[in-house]
Structure 1
Amino acid sequence: MRLSRIIMALTVGLAVVAVPTAAGAAQPQPAPSATTDPPQPPPYTPVGPSLTVNRPTIFIGETVVLTGTGFGPNETVDIVVTVAPLAAPAGGQAPARRSDGSTVAMVPVAYQASAPLSFTAQTNGEGSFSKRYKPSVTGLLTFTATGRDSDRTASTELRVLHKKQPLPVTGDSLGTPMKLGGGLVGAGAVMLLLTLAWRRRQRLGGAA
């Protein structure tokens, strides 16, 4: 009888100990936090090519610098130049003004068309280049650069103007200086005659 009670007590004790262990095992485990993952870098966006000039407008005979970026490293870039005539200003070219205030129309200078030009440039390890260029024609020049290996293309524009010319001298403008010169010559002749007459009079007075 006593042995049965001891066995029953041990059984109850083991049951009491096993219940909390089973309850703890049945509880859901916490999900791993998403903040522990390392941040991912943003996707890489390649920079497009660009072509610029240091001066957008120049006069014929001056030099500009072409700068290209965003091309392939250490590649040859083909540059093609196309020329278009500049748009005429509103109202045409300004007339020349005469000395009396009137105006005379100027004859416009004929535009000299030119076939497209081409040359090459070599990029550095970063895909950039600089090239000096001296236009030989006037007009609106468009530069188009294309990489031979990367096939990247960029373009820019340049305005090339005629050199400033002095206003032409018209017939009326020449007339005024000639009139002034003739008047000065006449006044000099009169003064010379008066001087000769005065000297002659002095000589005659001294002889008397």
Structure 2
Amino acid sequence: MRLSRIIMALAVGLAVVAVPTAAGAAQPQPAPTVTDTPQPPPYTPELASLTVSRPTINLGETIILRGRNFGPNETVDIVVSVRPIAAPAANQAPARRSDGTTVAMAPVAYQASAPLRFTARTNAAGEFSRSYKPSVTGLLTFTATGRESDRTATTELRVLDGRQPPPLPVTGDSLGTPMKVGGGLVGAGTVLLLLSLAWRHRQRLGLRSH
């Protein structure tokens, strides 16, 4: 009897202890709180840009160079390289020979000058504006590089010669035809003059004979 009572007491005690534990396990657990603040995306700097006020000008005119997205208050080095502009074949009038054939007049080779260099200064927003007057014709390429930011941008400008092209030189073959025509006209005029004098002379002789 004592053994059975001891076993029953132990069973009851274990049951009493297990009930709060099970009840605590059944209760919903609070969701974990997020303490880390979200990080912003990595900063990507905008690309530098360089533009001209007009893409094509005549020699002697002035354009405005504008740069953006360079470093604030920095010096920008600008290098200008020059390349020739090929003249279209339609603008090259051929020289004509006396026999009717033509000879193509090849343009003189253009020698590009050495690259030009100058500087510009940006404002607090990394922008600058600078006037520029080209001294040569051709296709000009501007390359701007910030000294501190090392940002680079390029743009192009066509500089044309606004003057009229010089007249084509007269070749020996082209001169031969006008000289031949002129000589023929002089000869024909001489013959007509002699015939006119002969006719007048006959008229005078006829009058005297009457």
| Correspondences of 1:18-57 after superposition (within 5 Å) | 18-27=17-26, 29-32=29-32, 39-57=38-56
Distance 1:169-1:113 versus aligned 2 partners, 3 A rule: closer
Offset from partner CA, 1:124-157 (integer Å, 9 cap, x none):
1111111110101100101111111222221111
Instruction: Specify the SS of the correspondent of 2:64.
Output: strand
- Counterparts of 1:68 and 1:20, CA distance in 2: 78
Between the aligned residues of both structures, percent identity stands at 66
Q: Verify the 8 A CA contact 1:76 1:123 in the aligned structure 2.
A: yes
Aligned to 1:135: 134
Size of the aligned set, in residue pairs, is: 157
Unaligned runs of 5+ in 1: 1-7, 97-102, 172-208
Offset from partner CA, 1:76-113 (integer Å, 9 cap, x none):
11111111101232x252539xxxxxx99878476353
The TM-score with structure 2 as length reference comes to: 0.59
Distance 1:157-1:166 versus aligned 2 partners, 3 A rule: closer
Aligned to 2:81: 82
Q: Which amino acid aligns with 1:144?
A: T
Instruction: Specify the SS of the correspondent of 1:24.
Output: helix
Q: Which amino acid aligns with 1:32?
A: P
Unaligned runs of 5+ in 2: 1-7, 95-101, 171-210
| Correspondences of 1:1-208 after superposition (within 5 Å) | 18-27=17-26, 29-32=29-32, 39-89=38-88, 91-95=89-93, 108=107, 111=110, 113-165=112-164
The TM-score with structure 1 as length reference comes to: 0.60
